[in-house]
Amino acid sequence: MKSLMLALLCAISSFNVFAGEDPLDSTKLLDELKRLEAIETSLKYKTGKVVLQNGMATINIAPGFRFLEAEDTRMILEDVWGNMKGQKAIGMIIPEGTSAIFADYAFLVEFEEMGYVKDEDADKINYDDLLKDMKEESMEANKERVKVGHEAMHLLGWASKPYYDKEKKILYWAKEYKVGMSEENTLNYDVRILGRKGVLVLQAVSSMNSLDSVNKNIPNILGMVAFNEGHKYSDFDSNVDDVAAWTIGGLVAGKMLAKAGLFALVLKNIKLVLLGLAAAGGAIWKFISGRRRKEEVYDGFETVEPEVEQR
């Protein structure tokens, strides 16, 4: 982190001289980077086997990844990415060899206790028709997003078409968005693991540049997380358990405003914190992401079971 701080400060100083910016901005940037360094030092990254809250599920962290538990995850979301207090994430899966603060992507883990989701409709869904409905809904949702100070999010299409593994009870898909005036489109990657009383939610939001990296490692992500005995989909008891109002199609469509906060928190991210401090346009983020792409070789990740079924 210290080498990154020094290199980034030099880059910003050079940019400020060229652009005629106030050199005091670099001092503010350095102060912020020192704060981030302190947070990074305090994070307790984990590998191996991690049992989630109340013994509900287990994450077996695959080679090439690390995990942050709920407390550290909420610190990243609230103290680094500047979101409202009270975030409900119970963990975060991060590619190894990078900080959670500067990661190209990270899967946030949540649990939605919505009840047992019936999957009889999984083979009957026309996802192209569903996409049309979602685009119309996103247009209406944008009116509300703008009212509360968020940028408009225009749903462009599937980055990865929805797929439901009926045997493993795992649903996943990805969407591409145009957010505000951003030059890079946004990737929203979703995974839902169905359980007895609800679904485990894994969601990553990043730039479309990360799509190949996420797709390459999605078998690892899908193979890491599983409900424990007593919480599995097969443990459903119709006599005592609630049935969700949602279906497979409903999980994909969701409600556009329901995750508005999550989109805001990941999209604002640290890059906007730095941009605001240094007033240096896109130069900072390009410097950071370019440096990171050179230093972090994702091609070294090993793919572990299970294999993703070919579609």
Ordered domains of the chain (ranges, CATH): 49-268 (3.40.1000)
Q: What pLDDT, on the 0 to 100 scale, is given for residue 149? A: 78
Confidence category of residue 266, pLDDT binned at 50, 70, 90: very low
Considering only residues 295 and 236, tell me which one the structure prediction assigns the higher pLDDT. Answer: 236
Residues linked to residue 116 through DSSP beta bridges, in sequence order = 243
Per-residue tokens: 105: 């992507």
Q: What pLDDT, on the 0 to 100 scale, is given for residue 44? A: 95
When pLDDT is averaged across residues 67-75 and rounded to a whole number, the result is 93
Query: In this model, does residue 199 exceed pLDDT 50?
Result: yes
Give the whole-number percent of the chain exceeding pLDDT 70: 73
Query: In this model, does residue 9 exceed pLDDT 90?
Result: no
Q: What pLDDT, on the 0 to 100 scale, is given for residue 62? A: 93
Hey, is 196 helix, strand or coil? Answer: coil
Contact 142, 153 (CB under 8 A): yes
The 10s digit of each residue's pLDDT in 13-65 is 544 444 444 544 667 777 777 888 888 899 999 999 999 988 999 999 999 99
Q: Tell if the pTM clears 0.85, that is, is over it.
A: no
Per-residue tokens: 177: 């968005």
> For the chain, how are helix, strand and coil distributed in percent, rounded to 5?
45, 25, 30
Confidence category of residue 290, pLDDT binned at 50, 70, 90: very low
**Cα–Cα–Cα angle for 197, 199, 205, rounded to 5 degrees:** 160
Contact 153, 145 (CB under 8 A): yes
When pLDDT is averaged across residues 127-146 and rounded to a whole number, the result is 89
Q: How far apart are CA 81 and CA 291, in angstroms?
A: 21
Q: Tell me which residue of 209, 190, 224, 189 sits closest to 301, measured CA to CA.
A: 224
Query: In sequence order, which residues have a C-beta less than 8 Å from that of residue 149 and are 6 or more positions away?
Result: none
CB atoms within 10 A of CB 56: 19
The 10s digit of each residue's pLDDT in 78-117 is 888 776 677 788 999 999 988 888 788 889 999 999 999 9
